[in-house]
Amino acid sequence: MNEEIKKACQVMREGGVILYPTDTIWGIGCDATNEEAVRRVYEIKRRADSKAMLVLVDSAVKVDFYVQDVPEVAWDLIELADKPLTIIYSGARNLAPNLLAEDGSVGIRVTGEEFSKRLCQQFRKAIVSTSANVSGQPSPQNFSEISDEIKAAVDYIVDYRREETAQARPSSIIKLDKGGVIKIIRQ
């Protein structure tokens, strides 16, 4: 696993795009601070760049670096979540501008899964995590369901967990507005 993480980090540092296992479904990823790499992910997914993508970080502490004013309730939600939870925050910062939603918000998930957590730790920056499919097509539940088109478009495919056949599920998504108002986007 260490060699896989090292190689994936090297590819992302060079502006490349990876295909990797996350705490939910397989993801297309890149350096979340690199505007050109983010643009390539939108191209691979054939997705309008007005649709924001989420990022993964390895600890709650990192959320503060990417969000101007984290509502207090966010810390409780992160701590108490018993399954993967993506929180959409207003006032994103220190990320590629084309990664953000039109209102300046960003979805951030603190990953607890071993591979993606270690990948984030070693990369030391937020990593884009978007489903490994062309926009509008079903999200693949495991590696075997990822299309050849997606596989051919990325710069590096992680070997770890390719053989798993379990049906993965996307994260829950909630939006936190100023003042701690919670809106459930996906359960």
Q: What is the pLDDT of residue 181?
A: 85
Domain that holds residue 19: 2-186
Q: What string of pLDDT tens digits covers the 187 residues of the chain?
A: 899 999 999 999 999 999 999 999 999 999 999 999 999 999 999 988 778 899 999 999 999 999 999 999 999 999 999 999 999 999 999 999 999 999 999 999 999 999 999 999 999 999 999 999 999 999 898 999 999 999 999 999 999 999 988 888 889 999 998 777 889 998 8
The pLDDT, as a whole number, for residue 28 is 97
**pLDDT given for residue 156 in this prediction:** 98
Q: What is the pLDDT of residue 177?
A: 83
Q: What is the DSSP string of the chain?
A: -HHHHHHHHHHHHTT--EEE--SSS-EEE-BTT-HHHHHHHHHHHT--TTS--EEEESSGGGHHHHBSS--HHHHHHHHH-SS-EEEEESSB-SS-GGGS-TTS-EEEEE--SHHHHHHHHHH-S-EEEEESS-TTSPPPSSGGGS-HHHHHHSSEE--TTTT--S---PPEEEEEEGGGEEEEEE-
pLDDT at residue 166, as a whole number: 83
pLDDT at site 141: 86
Give the pLDDT of residue 179. Answer: 73
Q: What is the pLDDT of residue 167?
A: 81
Counting the structural domains of the chain, the total is: 1
We report the CATH number of the domain holding residue 92 as 3.90.870.10
